[in-house]
Amino acid sequence: MIEIRFHGRGGQGAVTSAELLALAAIEEGKYAQAFPSFGPERRGAPVVAFCRIDDQPIRIRANIYEPDIVVVLDASLLRIVNVASGLKPDGWVVTTSSDSPEAVKDLLKIKNRIGVVDAVKIAREILGLPITNTTMLGSLVKAAGLVHKESFISPFKERFGRIAEKNIAAFERAYQETVIV
């Protein structure tokens, strides 16, 4: 089983990211679950969402405390939340940042593999808003290869309707621009 923890801020799409990843995995015949962990937070407050993917039915219903992968949708969280908490030694961090992967590793004090992309820049240029959820999914797929890129097309079209093509374009560009160390 692969366990992914998403860190974002309310309104950025962390919960949507987890749901879309689960739907893409299900498109491939895998088992998946996605769920948020938040209380009365408001737009802009830190939120966490989770996703599990497996080839077998998933019976666990608890939060993820030792993720295989951590995805960060807002670079400011790298300085205020211990996003690498519990990260498995062979795990990944995939984050938006305008800094180099090496600088992000130093900031987080980790030796893990990392994928970095300036998702905010891509989202602003393609979507017109700094909402990084679909952009970061492109980066995640490039870094960890959990599911095929094509498996997101149907979930994106169902979720985003007429703006699905822009989200697919943001996903694809982030996939291409992610730097992995």
Q: Mean pLDDT throughout 71-97? A: 97
Q: Mean pLDDT throughout 151-160? A: 97
Phi–psi pair at 39, nearest 5 degrees: -110, -125
Q: Mean pLDDT throughout 124-137? A: 96
User: Residue 4 pLDDT > 90, yes or no?
Assistant: yes
pLDDT attached to residue 38: 65
Mean pLDDT of the chain: 95
pLDDT attached to residue 41: 57
Phi–psi pair at 117, nearest 5 degrees: -145, 150
**In the chain, which residue ranges form alpha helices assigned H by DSSP?**
14-27, 77-80, 101-108, 119-127, 133-144, 153-160, 164-177
Report the alpha-carbon distance of residue 59 to residue 66 in Å, rounded: 17
For 33-50, the pLDDT digits (tens) are 999 986 655 677 889 999
Phi–psi pair at 74, nearest 5 degrees: -140, 115
Query: Which residues are bridge partners to 131 per DSSP?
Result: none
pLDDT attached to residue 40: 58
Domains of the chain: 2-180 (3.40.920.10)
Q: What is the pTM of this model?
A: 0.95
Nearest CA to 94 out of 1, 180, 2, 3 is that of: 180
pLDDT attached to residue 11: 84
Q: Identify the band that residue 60 occupies on the pLDDT scale cut at 50, 70 and 90.
A: very high
